[in-house]
Every structure is written in structure tokens, then in C-alpha cells.
Structure 1
Amino acid sequence: MTEPVVHRAQVAVVGAGPVGVTVANYLGLYGVRTLLIDRSEEIVDYPRAVGMDDECLRSFQGVGLADEMLADMIQNVPLKMFAANGHCLADIRPDTKEFGWPRRNIFMQQLAERALREGLTRYPHVRSLLGHELVRLEQDGTEARLHVAGPDGRRVLVHADYVVAADGGRSTVREQLGIPLSGDTHPRKWVVIECDDDPLDAPYTGLHGDPKRPYVCLDLPYNYRRWEFMLFPGEDAEAMLRPEKVHELLSGHVPDPTALHIIRARVYTHHSRVADRFVDGRVCLVGDAAHLMPPWAGQGMNTGIRDATNVAWKLAAVVSGRSHPRILATYDTERREHARAMVKLSDAIGRFLAPTNTTVARARDTLVRGLTVAPPVRSWLVHMRFKPVPRYTEGIMLHGRRPGRRNSPVGRMFVQPRVETADGRVVPLDETLGEWFALIGYGVDPLVHLDPDSRAFWDRIGTRYLTVVESRSGRSRTERRMSATGSVTVEDVDGTLRDWFAAHEGGVAVVRPDRYLAALAAPRDLGAVTDAFERLIAPSSAVESKDAWRSVPVPEGDAS
């Protein structure tokens, strides 16, 4: 037997779907030696995931790919909920751009995956083994070893410091680690049908609670359309994919089903499951390997991209020596509860669709109509405030004296308004923050309030310092207000940051690489905040417990 080909990497990513390749792009950005492994050489050439939210786009912005994604995307797509009689119950059109991007967008997964894979070509330290299948995973206190089979039967051995399992709902990694995927499998199957010659003038996503047969109808880019129909007990799944049955399902929805060019018809079983743990030794589970949910909220891939953005910076911090390996425990703490919340949302929307009893469906419609009469409820629905936005209560953050305070912004994604740079360019805030941590002061230069030891700590972990000033607060276009310390100075174009800081006590925000707010402090407390963060993330082994971040002392002056 020939000796295996040996590869070495700081991080091995198993699975080259959108979540795995997003992890690889971020690791490439952070300078991590990465190996991407996938059993398939090609991208599946038809739409699967089709919904992308603002948080997801912000993640792609972080690796310089958001504009490429938008080039193939329909932005601000309405979501309509229809009653049993076909009347529209709710027309959901979120218009906020709190995080810098439209909240509801429709895309084609295969086009997004091509953009993500093309993005990897920017990083010579990121390599791919496509057409290679993981056979066995071993790990110990020093490394992980991946035994891989190549396309020609060649054996490959990969030595990696850490592994990211992005290998889907039937994850080989998760199964070998023996991690349960707890939850339910739904009894009803659904047929998904797609065509590329859209016959309808319906530029929205429609959730049709028709008790005769609940269905979903989606307008996709480039003249594609998708239908999803519930199957009833006793209907044979394979038989429903025959051309005559597909045409029967579409009859009544399009003028002539036989004239459509059907790209594919497939039957899906939906799952609502979350892995019992997202971290096992040197392995982190992301995406469908960590959680499965029905498609009704359009959050399966989006939740996985949040996983990717969260875990990538922590892995990069560990392998680069910026942080202690204990911070990887916070990936599980921060992401697993939010994944459960997204599963619950998907299940709730599914229950809206599901009734096949006419009386039950009419009662549902009456209830929804009654609730949406109230302006606060209608606003909550129309602006998609029902979607759980992640709020991390434990992890890499300092919550202050009252961590349970609901209006605290700590642990939430930081806003992203437009700012104006010293050379007069108007850009999204993130373009000025750098790749790692950022200290942002409103009308305050953070560097003025850091002693030399504190400054040395933030410098070691690659921090960017930002001073935000009022728009047009200098003498002229050419004589802008500038920091005397070298801190980056930007103008608050539309007052969003002014209002944000006014609403939340504390003049300096500590923003993490994934753009979540890690702390909010008065300038005088930055020294104490620095000491606390040094205990949280520094590479020192002074705090050995992986749960050390649960009890970090918070400075008395922290007003978050």
C-alpha cells in the first residue's frame, strides 16, 4: 500500500458549500493556512437556498464579496401571506437598513457559491481538495488528523490544528464524533418545482395558506420561479415527480403547465434539529452540520453564515497566538441558542401554512386579521421584527452591572450607517473598521484615554481606533476635524451614530471582528475594560478554565 499524500494546515474545513467556503474566505482574510475539502468537484447547478438577509450580506461585505453577490440578487423582495380564500393577509416589506443592507433579498445559491469560490483565489494560503472525501477523523491534545480518499483512490492524510465541519445535514464529522442532532423530523413532505421561463407577474414571495394544498411561490432572479407544494398522507413521493403529476400540481397557478420548462422537481423532508454541542475538542460544527430547519423563514443558510463569521475570527485568533483556545467554547455558547430560535421561527411560519382543515384555516385567518388591526402589531410584522436578531448574553463581551437589561446593545450586532472619510468618500462604517477589533468613540478619541499598557494590548490584537465627529464640524471641506493621535476620524453623515450613542450611555464602543458590540464604556473606564478583555481573550494561560469568560469582573463605570 502506497504512503498517503500528507497535507498540513492550521484549519481544515470539511465541506465546500456556501457556509464552508465563507469560513475559508474569512480564514484567508485573516492569513490562516487553510485546507478546504469536499467530496464533490462541482457546484450543484440549480437554486437551493434563495433568501439572503442583511446580516448575511454584512458577513459577505467583510470579505469583500457583498457587491458581487448583489449583482445577481433581487433586493427588498416583499413577503406576502395569503389566507385560505386567496386574499392577502400581510404584505411584509422591511425597509430598514440598520446593518447597511436590505433586510430581505432573493438570490441563486449556485451563483453565490461561484462568487465565494472565486473569492478564495485571492489567498495563496487557502488550498482546496475537491473530489476528496473524508473517511475518518481523529483528534488529540495536539492536532486533528483527517484520513481522506482522493478521486483516484489515493490516500491523503491531513494534519490540522483545528477542523470546521461544514459537511451538511448528514455530516460525517458529526456522526463520527457521536454528537446527537436533537429535534424532530416533520411528517409531511414537500415537492419543490422550478422553471426558468417564469409565467407569472408576481414579484414577491407568497406563502399561501390554502387548505386544499398549502404552497409557496417564489420569484427568483433571471426569470426563474419556484413552487413548493405540501404532500398529503398516502401520496407517493416519487409518483408526484412524474411530469403529469407536476403539471397537475401547477394547474390553476399558471395558464399552461405543459408549456413550462421544468428545470427540476424534487421531494424534500423537513427537519427541525440542533446539535447537542457545536464544539468538540478541536472541531467546530457550522451550518447544516450543526442545525437543520424548514425553509419557511429563509434562514437555514443565513444562520450558517452567522456561524461562519463567528467561528472564523475566533479560530484565527487562536492559531495566530492572539487568543487562548478557551475562547472556542464561546462559539457554542453564542451560536447554539440563536440557532434554536431560528428553528422555532421556521416552525412557527410552517404552522401558519400547514392547516388543511378549512375551519382551522379560516380561524387562523380571522386571528391574523384581528391582530394586524393594531398598528404596533402591523408594524412588527411589516418590518420583519419577528425575526430573532442574535443577542449574545454570554461569550466574548462585557455586559456591565445589569447583563439582563433588555435594551442593552451589548451582545447585539452594531449598526452600520454611512460615514465620510478624511478624503471625502462616503462609505459604510465597516469599511473604516479594519479586520479585527475596533474601538469607536463618538466625539471621543479612544487613544487619548488608553494608558501605554492598555494601548499595547489592543495593538497586539490588531485593533483599529475610530473617532466619530458630527458631519461638517470642521472649518471647511479641506479643513476637517482630525485626531491628533492618529486615530481614524470619520464624519457621521446622517446622524445615526449620534442618535445611537445618545440612546446608550457610554462614549466608546468595543466592536468585535464579526461586528457585534463587545462592550460599551465611559472613556474613563477604558483601562478597566482593557484589563477585563485581556483576561477574556489574551493568549496567556493565566485563566485555565474554558468557562473563565463567565466571571470576568466588569468595571464599575461600565454603563452598558
Structure 2
Amino acid sequence: MYDVAIIGCGPVGALAANLCGKAGLNTLVIEKEANPYPLPRAVHLDHEMMRFFQAADLIDDVVGDMRDTEGHLHVGADLGVIRYMGTKGQARPFGWSNDYFFYQPELEDHLRDALAKYDNVELKLGTEFTLLKQAEGQPVALTISHQGQAQTVDAQWVIACDGARSSVRKFLNIELDDLKFDEPWLVVDAEVDGPVRFPDIWGMPEDADIQQLSVMMCDPKRPATVVPGRGNHRRWEFMLLPDEDPQAMMQPENVAPLMEPWLGAIPHKIVRAATYRFHALIAEQWQQGQVFLAGDAAHQTPPFFGQGMCHGLRDVSNLVWKMELIFKGLAPRSILQTYQEERDPHVRAVISTAVDAGRYICVLDENKAAARDADIREKAASGQLAKTGAGIIPPLKAGVVATHTSGAGERFIQPSLQTDSGEQLMDNILGCGWRLFAANASLAAQAQQTLAQWPAQFNVRVVDCQTLADAGAIAAWLEQHNAKTVVVRPDAYVFGTANSAAELLSQLAQSLSLEIEPCH
């Protein structure tokens, strides 16, 4: 009997397994491939993912292979900037840069290797899902196959992280909601020994380094993206034109002319050229019984803001802390019904933003492109568009959040704290579980008194902001939200705020259906 069975051990499944391992959940991970896919696929993640790696004790393993970059640039048909989403020189309220690029085979190796430290996590490679059965109140019976030998195992929960062609989703007959974006693109990965060549672009901010930006060329002759990977890895994405054959465009004789303007005589090696259809799809059901879809099994997004893998990592972070509460007897199983309630609108909003960008990026008519350029510049100048990638991520609107309170559902800040050994990010010092930040000692004491009535195993760390060496960052956050206390969830989203610690904890207990024993 397993607590959790995870199907698929790409980055999403592997993070889920690490989080389950740390939570003490007895976990089985199956992956049909014996070895990680050797070529790059996903390349971008943001500050929130780095924080998840902190929570899973993985940050030291992965940070050395991340390339910290400076945001996004959209260039119009006239080679002028239409939208700049740069972060150079800006504050990092969440503790990390907003944009990182990585090499997926390296990342997967790190995430899988880390599982070795958990006796409660079993990884079966070369093993496929074949079928499952579930009945009310019973564990999921999962049939898996390794080298033709079938085996049935039981698990309280199943997390399907088995990709866009998810066998589990198909087995459960879950339909996809099509957001009506479907465009063919050619993706080219290369190792490049030198800076990429760009045309003369006007309107660039003085401090912007184009080699450090993800650059979207909104050229009606052929839209293209140039991405700064880690090390000497670079990626290009070229929109295919209506009369082009996707299979033919992957051939070296067709790839070379596309790359020549960017590389010229710069030494380089083409690592991969593959065509994809950029989709916008969301599963109509993310949960069926005790089986949950996560990552590409649940949603697929056009890559224009690099949020595809980020969505999946958010999915499993959302699931695992709720499973841990149930495992410890601190919440009813019904809390998992908040998974889709929280994640679907969140994902839908970000994918819709990517689709909107994709629609203006993919304009192939020169007159429409000129009108597009003027429109985007006007919107950007008037503040109608997000100024950074972080700005496209909305707060949670439902679920385990006190939605009527200021700041509820936002990602909480992570300031640096002064310690005897120097500056440390807050989560490294305070941990990544439930936290209540209080504006003063009196409110902190009120919180401790209230928590004395709670089950001992429900650990909420209470922090008096007046004793926190964070240069006043959290006190300023509370003042901005007109509150004196804030509760932060294990996934670093704000549960809610209030002036009274007792009131806020009462709301949390109610939201979790937590039974509180009165003190005698």
C-alpha cells in the first residue's frame, strides 16, 4: 500500500516525489522511460519554482545550473521595441530572479538523484501505467507493467504527470477544453560559442542587454523567438508559414537558412530541430475520484511567457501539502476538491494571457502588424500590460484562501534576513510550512495562545515581525495590506490577513475543517 503513486518522472513528477518524500508519504514513482530524455524541452522557470526547490531541499542541487536572465522583449515589424518586460536592477521581493533558463536533462538528473535520500520513495523506471480501478472509500488499484510483467499496487492517491498525451487522462475519458490556439512552430536548439547576432533594434532601454533577454521578433515575414539558455545553449522558435511542411522544415537544409542571420560564422552545433503545434488546452476534470492530473496531462500552453513547466510544478506543490494534512489526520479528504478550484482559474488566466500574446505575435499581414505595433506600444506605455513576467500571474481566487481579506491568494514575499553567518533567504531560516507573521509581540502571543488549542502536530510557526531582521519588509507588506497578521500556506501563497491573530486562525481552522479542542 502506497500513500501516493506518481505516474511520470519528468520535472513535475520528480518534484512531486521529492515533496512527498519530505512529507513522509510512502510514495511509488513509475516512469516508462529507463533514462531521462537526453535533449532539451522546457527551458524556462521563474522565482516561484526556485522557491519550490527550496521547499523540497533541492535548491543547492539545481541553482548552479540555472542561468539568471533579465526578462522578455517583444520587437515589432519595424524593428522597434513594442513591449519590454525587463527586470534588470529591480527588487526581488520573492528572493529570486524572475527568469531562469536551464537545461532539462540536467534538471531531471538532479531531481531524480535527490530521491535516493528518501527511504519512503520508490522509483521504478521502464515501467508503464496500464489501467486503474477505484471504488468509493477504497484505495486506487493501479496496474503497471515492467518488461511485459504486470503488477497491481494500491495507492490512496494517484498523481498523473504523464505528459500531454497522458495515458491516464485518456483512460479516464477526460476531455480537453480547447482555448482555440493552434499554431505550428519549428524549435531549434543549438550550442553556440559566441553572442547571437540581432538586427538593429530601436527603442531599447539603455541598461538592457539583449543577450540576456528572451526576444520575441514579431515579424510578419516569420515570427521568431530567441531564448538565452544556460551555458552555451540557445533556443530559436520559428513560426511555420501556411505553405510549409513541418517534416520538411526540420531537415538540415531548411534549418540552416533560418539560423544563418542569427549566427553567421559563429561556431555552433545544432542539437535538435523539431516541429510542434503550440496548443492552449485545459482538462475539463483535474480530479476523478482519488486520481489527479498535473502538468501537461492537465493543461498545455503556448510558450510565449515560458510558463508551461511552471504550471505543473505549481500543481504538485498545491496537491502535496494538502495530502500531507490528510495523511496526518489534520484535514478531511474533501480538501483535495480545492485542487481544481484553485489551479484551474489560475492556469486559465495565465494561458489566456499567453494566447493573447500569441495572437498578436503570429500576425502575418504587414498592415495588421503595423496596427498591432502601435496598439501594443500604447497599451504598454499606459500601464495596461504586465511590466514583468511576474505580473501575469494572478492571485488564487478560491479554495483554501480567505478571499475577503486583503492580499489573500497572492504569492508571499521572501526577504533576506540578517543572520550571524550573513544574509539568508527567509525560507531557509523559518522553513516552508505554515507561518503566521504578526506585527508585534502582543499579536504573536495571541497567536501562540490560540494555537495551544490546536492539534499538536499542526505546526504553525509564529513570527513577531519586530524581531525579524528583514529590513522591515514584512512589516511594510502588512501595512500595504492594512493588516497586522498574515498566514502563509506551505506553498508560499497567502491564506489571508486580519488585524486579529485569533480571528485569522479561526478562519484557517474553518477553511481546513480542523477540529479544535477547547483548553481546560
- TM-score, length of structure 2 as denominator length: 0.90
SS of 1:520's partner is strand
Q: How many residues align?
A: 500
SS of 2:427's partner is helix
The aligned counterpart of 2:189 is: 194
Sort the Cα spacing of 1:452 and 1:253 in 2 relative to 1 into closer, same or farther, 3 A: closer
Q: Letter of the 1:9 partner, please give it.
A: Y
SS of 2:246's partner is coil
Contact kept? 1:36, 1:128, Cα under 8 Å: yes
Q: List per-residue Cα deviations over 1:53-96 (Å, max 9, x = no partner).
A: 11111111111222432211111333221111323333321233
Match of residue 307, structure 2, among 299, 303, 306: 299
Q: Quick check: 1:426 aligned with 2:435?
A: no
5+ residue gaps, structure 2: 197-210
Q: Letter of the 1:97 partner, please give it.
A: R
SS of 1:191's partner is strand
Q: Letter of the 2:260 partner, please give it.
A: S
Deviation of 1:352 (Å): 2.4
Contact kept? 1:506, 1:520, Cα under 8 Å: yes
SS of 1:101's partner is coil
Match of residue 135, structure 1, among 130, 133, 137: 130
Matched residues in 1 for 2:173 and 2:260: separation?
46
Sort the Cα spacing of 1:462 and 1:234 in 2 relative to 1 into closer, same or farther, 3 A: same
The aligned counterpart of 2:365 is: 357
| Pair member with larger Rg | 1
Contact kept? 1:286, 1:308, Cα under 8 Å: yes
Q: List per-residue Cα deviations over 1:245-264 (Å, max 9, x = no partner).
A: 1112223332149x642111
Match of residue 161, structure 2, among 155, 159, 166: 166
Contact kept? 2:497, 2:504, Cα under 8 Å: no
The aligned counterpart of 2:206 is: none
Matched residues in 2 for 1:310 and 1:298: separation?
20
Contact kept? 2:185, 2:237, Cα under 8 Å: yes
Pairwise mapping of residues 23-422 of structure 1 onto structure 2 (< 5 A)?
Answer: 23-94=16-87, 95-140=90-135, 141-150=137-146, 152-184=147-179, 186-201=181-196, 202-256=211-265, 260-374=268-382, 376=383, 381-384=386-389, 386-389=391-394, 391-399=395-403, 403=404, 408-421=406-419
Pairwise mapping of residues 430-445 of structure 1 onto structure 2 (< 5 A)?
Answer: 430-444=427-441
The aligned counterpart of 1:9 is: 2
Contact kept? 2:453, 2:516, Cα under 8 Å: no
Matched residues in 1 for 2:324 and 2:387: separation?
39
Deviation of 1:451 (Å): 7.4
Q: Letter of the 1:164 partner, please give it.
A: I
Q: Quick check: 1:460 aligned with 2:457?
A: yes
SS of 1:121's partner is helix
Sort the Cα spacing of 1:323 and 1:373 in 2 relative to 1 into closer, same or farther, 3 A: closer
Matched residues in 1 for 2:444 and 2:453: separation?
11
Contact kept? 1:492, 1:498, Cα under 8 Å: no
Q: Letter of the 1:227 partner, please give it.
A: W
Q: Letter of the 1:328 partner, please give it.
A: L
Sort the Cα spacing of 1:540 and 1:171 in 2 relative to 1 into closer, same or farther, 3 A: farther
Q: Quick check: 1:534 aligned with 2:506?
A: no
SS of 1:222's partner is coil
Matched residues in 1 for 2:339 and 2:183: separation?
33
Contact kept? 1:35, 1:129, Cα under 8 Å: yes
Q: Letter of the 2:66 partner, please give it.
A: M
Matched residues in 1 for 2:280 and 2:96: separation?
28
Q: List per-residue Cα deviations over 1:195-245 (Å, max 9, x = no partner).
A: 112453433211001111111111211211111111112311111111111
Matched residues in 2 for 1:24 and 1:385: separation?
26
Deviation of 1:539 (Å): 6.2
Matched residues in 1 for 2:342 and 2:81: separation?
37
Q: Letter of the 2:284 partner, please give it.
A: D
- Greater CA deviation, 289-298 or 195-204? 195-204
Q: Letter of the 1:396 partner, please give it.
A: V
Matched residues in 1 for 2:4 and 2:448: separation?
35
- TM-score, length of structure 1 as denominator length: 0.84
SS of 1:460's partner is coil
Matched residues in 2 for 1:381 and 1:512: separation?
25
Q: Letter of the 2:217 partner, please give it.
A: H
Sort the Cα spacing of 1:293 and 1:38 in 2 relative to 1 into closer, same or farther, 3 A: same
Deviation of 1:286 (Å): 0.9
Q: CA RMSD in A?
A: 2.3
Contact kept? 2:98, 2:390, Cα under 8 Å: no
Contact kept? 1:272, 1:347, Cα under 8 Å: yes
Q: Letter of the 1:420 partner, please give it.
A: Q
Contact kept? 1:96, 1:103, Cα under 8 Å: no
Q: Letter of the 1:431 partner, please give it.
A: N
Deviation of 1:373 (Å): 4.0
Sort the Cα spacing of 1:134 and 1:459 in 2 relative to 1 into closer, same or farther, 3 A: same
The aligned counterpart of 2:486 is: 509
Matched residues in 2 for 1:298 and 1:27: separation?
26
Sort the Cα spacing of 1:203 and 1:394 in 2 relative to 1 into closer, same or farther, 3 A: closer
